Amino acid sequence: MYKIGPSLMCTDLGNVERDIKELDEAGVDFYHIDIMDGTFVPNFTLGPDFVKAVRNLTDKPLDIHIMTEKPERFIDLFHEAGSDMIAIHAETTNNLQGTLSKIQDLGMKAGVAINPSTPLDVLEYVYNVTDYVVVMTVNPGFAGQTFIPEMYDKIAQLKEEITKRNLEIEVMVDGNIGKDTIPKSKEKGATSFVGGTSSVYKSENTLTENVKNTRKLLNGGE
């Protein structure tokens, strides 16, 4: 029921193949790939060539999180690169419904990502073309930030709305997801967890140990 997706912006870019092989064997459910162009967020990260390279290394679903202005410009590009899921930010486009529909029409899962200060109202007219919602629990752009506690209520409100509408939409959480935040996020309704430096990439353990520990948390253990 609960899914773990390593955030590949945190992986060792000099040893991507090695890390993905280990993560695959450890049993992760998907890979989360952040795309930033320095405009919507103050950072630059990965691109379509990286997605293509990862696609050749794993059969796991690739979840592309586009953090750019006017993401509709890049849907075809990332589809051709091998994406299985694409999440776009509600704050970055004037054509949210149309872009989500296009993602689905291309055979991918369509996601809406929302920043901490963005109200859930932006989802009102796009639930029917949304497969998952990415609740940002930090302000996007950089790894290692602190979880914003108010996001627990936001996760709960979103889950309540999805249940009320009798929809099957996944609730993904992204930002400082680890032992201090997974239990309550899960309790509030999150089902999919992006793992960065607080969980999958904790430096004191191997990737395999980190995935095992994260899975244990998701299954109710310590």
Q: Average pLDDT for residues 32-45, to the nearest whole number? A: 89
Give pLDDT, residue 13: 93
Give pLDDT, residue 145: 77
Q: Amino acid identity, residue 220?
A: G
Catalytic residue among 19, 63, 131, 174: 174
More confident residue, 41 or 165: 165
Q: Amino acid identity, residue 49?
A: D
Q: Average pLDDT for residues 29-51, to the nearest whole number? A: 92
Give pLDDT, residue 165: 97
Which pLDDT band holds residue 222 (cuts at 50, 70, 90)? low
Q: Average pLDDT for residues 26-31, to the nearest whole number? A: 98
Catalytic residue among 19, 34, 63, 131: 34
Give pLDDT, residue 23: 98
CATH classification number, 3-218, choose in 3.30.930.10, 3.40.30.110, 3.20.20.70, 3.40.190.10: 3.20.20.70
- What is the three-state SS of 129-186? HCCEEEEECCCCCCCCCCCCCCHHHHHHHHHHHHHHCCCCCEEEEECCCCCCCHHHHH
Which pLDDT band holds residue 39 (cuts at 50, 70, 90)? confident
Q: Average pLDDT for residues 23-47, to the nearest whole number? A: 92
Q: Is 49 a catalytic residue?
A: no
Q: Is 19 a catalytic residue?
A: no
- Confidence (pTM): 0.95
Q: Average pLDDT for residues 138-156, to the nearest whole number? A: 87
